Structure 1
Amino acid sequence: MTQPILQLENVHTYIEQYHILQGITFDVAENGFTVIVGRNGAGKTTTLRTIIGLWQAKSGTVKLRGQEIQGQATSEIARAGVAYVPENMGIFGDLSVRENMILAARRGKFDTDRLEWIFGLFPPIKKFWNLAAGNLSGGQKQMLAIARAIIEPSDLLLIDEPTKGIAPAIIEDMIDAFLELKRMQTTILLVEQNFSFAAALGDDVVVIDDGQVVHRGAMDTLSSNPDLQQQYLGLALNE
């Protein structure tokens, strides 16, 4: 059985007076693809931001390879091997695609083989290499955000809503890219509202509702059971 690379145990996170995460507990298997799904406002994004240290858990533990990381600065967690693609993508629109990638590369230098591998995953990165990132389409910006996160090898990749506002044709390309990442045994924890996209990729699934985990297990179990889908996701299933 694959050992978990990430473990959350009874995690509570507040944003000002609001109790957003209310005892979140789940594991992420190493070399696996785990998807967090749930209704809008359920606490999915807060979970990722708590893991990466942008928001601090008030109680509970977050462990990376058995070592507690809650309370650490985001920069420390990143150096420990966690990469993060936020929902807003976080690219620099005035800089070129190349300059955005340089900022993400260690010491500002690329591993040539790895860069060519990324070009294979996301051809628009190579095509628009010298174009200002702000001129890219929404889907191309998302590709750039993911490419920046994987320009250096990491132990765990956190990605928040990669298909939000993206055209269906780009979503199909993104599925192909993520399947390649899976084949390369990249450990991914993905927040996603598009259940069809999530089901096409996920090995394991965590359903969050009102700040609590209401279901966790194999993605196949949820994707093949309409009753469970209706119970936990409602009309969000086919959106």
Structure 2
Amino acid sequence: MPDPAAEPILTLSGVHTHIGQYHILQGVDLVVPRGGLAVLLGRNGAGKTTTLRTIMGLWKASAGSIVFDGRDITKMSTPDIARAGIAYVPESMAVFSELTVRENLYLAARNGPLDQARVDWICGFFPALKKFWNYPAGNLSGGQKQMVAIARAIVEPRKLLLVDEPTKGLAPAIVQSLMLAFRELKDTNTTILLVEQNFNFVRTLGDTVSVMDDGRVAHAGLMHDLANDDALQQRLLGLSLDSHQ
């Protein structure tokens, strides 16, 4: 559980993002406490993925500020943001299809050779990675590609992990492996900001939650409070979160 007295690791203040003629983020205020797992919920099209991509510098904020670990990263390039300690796992399960699983992880190891102890730790959650270690990543199933994408993001320690819809389309057994991985990551002082629709997944893991609507954050608080308030779920999401399974 994050320390409420600690300085937030990430703060978005009045962030606007335009994509072409479309005004997607319309003044996002978001605070991610240091440590633990923060969840970003909202209907489709609310701006959740755009928020992650804007934090990562893939789309540039047209107004407002993004402060990470005490440093303004609003105008920084994506490589510099990554070097500052943020990793991003997109919904698209982006992997280098022609490269093997090993080569995908090797490329993500910025500070030299792979740490074998950390690789073994990651493979403890995702045994299929070891099985397909020398297979081209493009030959793997969707769930296996998702494992590779997450492994790439955590092959070295990161301060903040941004993850977009990690359980989408995955088998229940793989979802359970993800749950274990995120729990252990929380214990290693990695902060996680997670966009997810599987409420059973985030209800178990989430410490704090923000709900987006129409390009803004409409609600922010403790996950426990939202999970136990059906009326609030109905008002913010239009249905009980228990239907997000």
TM-score by length of 2: 0.93
Distance 1:137 1:235, change over 3 A: farther
In structure 2, relative to structure 1, the CA distance for the partners of 1:236 and 1:70 (3 Å cut) is: farther
2:165 counterpart residue number:
161
Mapped to 2, the partners of 1:122 and 1:129 lie a distance apart of 11
5+ residue gaps, structure 2: none
Contact 2:27 2:64 (C-alpha < 8 Å) held by counterparts: yes
- Stretch deviating more after TM superposition (177-186 or 6-15): 177-186
1:45 paired with 2:45, answer no
- SS of 2:176's partner is helix
Residues 81 and 107 of structure 1: CA distance in aligned 2, closer, same or farther (over 3 Å) = closer
Aligned to 1:64: 68
2:129 to 125, 129, 144: 125
Q: Distance in 1 between matches of 2:23 and 2:49?
A: 14
How many Å apart are 1:135 and its aligned residue? Answer: 2.0
Q: Which stretch shifts more, 129-138 or 216-225?
A: 129-138
Q: Deviating runs (4+, > 3 A) in structure 1?
A: none
Give 3-state SS (helix, strand or coil) of 1:227's partner.
Answer: helix
Give the one of 101, 106, 127 matched to 1:102.
106
Distance 2:240 2:46 in 1: 12
Alignment: residue pair count? 239
Matches within 5 A, 1:12-27: 12-27=16-31
- Write the mapping of 1:1-239 to structure 2, written as runs, cut at 5 A: 1-106=5-110, 109-235=113-239, 237=241, 238-239=243-244
Shift of 1:138: 1.4
Letter in 1 for 2:43: R
Other structure's SS at 1:106 match: coil
Q: Is the 8 A contact 1:37 1:195 kept in 2?
A: no
Report how far residue 108 of structure 1 moved. 5.1
What SS does structure 2 have at the residue aligned with 1:95? coil
Task: Deviation per CA, 1:96-121: give whole Å up to 9, x if none.
Answer: 11111111112551112211211122
State the SS of the aligned residue for 2:166.
Answer: coil
**TM-score, normalised relative to structure 1:** 0.96
Per-residue deviation, residues 176-214 of structure 1 (Å, max 9, x unmatched): 221121222211011112222111111000100110111
Amino acid at match of 2:161: L
CA distance in 1, matches of 2:181, 2:36: 15
CA contact (8 A) 1:121 1:180 kept: no
Q: Which of 150-159 and 164-173 deviates more?
A: 164-173
1:25 aligned counterpart, secondary structure: strand
Could you tell me how far apart the structure 1 residues matched to 2:111 and 2:80 are?
17
Contact 2:230 2:240 in 1 (8 A): no
- The alignment partner of 2:177 has SS state of helix
Which amino acid in structure 2 is aligned with residue 120 of structure 1? Answer: G
Rounded to whole Å, the distance in 1 between the matches of 2:64 and 2:231 is 32
Q: Which moved more, 1:60-69 or 1:120-129?
A: 120-129
Matches of 2:167 and 2:55, distance apart in 1? 21
Deviation at 1:165, TM superposition (A): 1.5
Shift of the alpha carbon at 1:76? Answer: 0.8
DSSP 3-state at the match of 1:116: helix
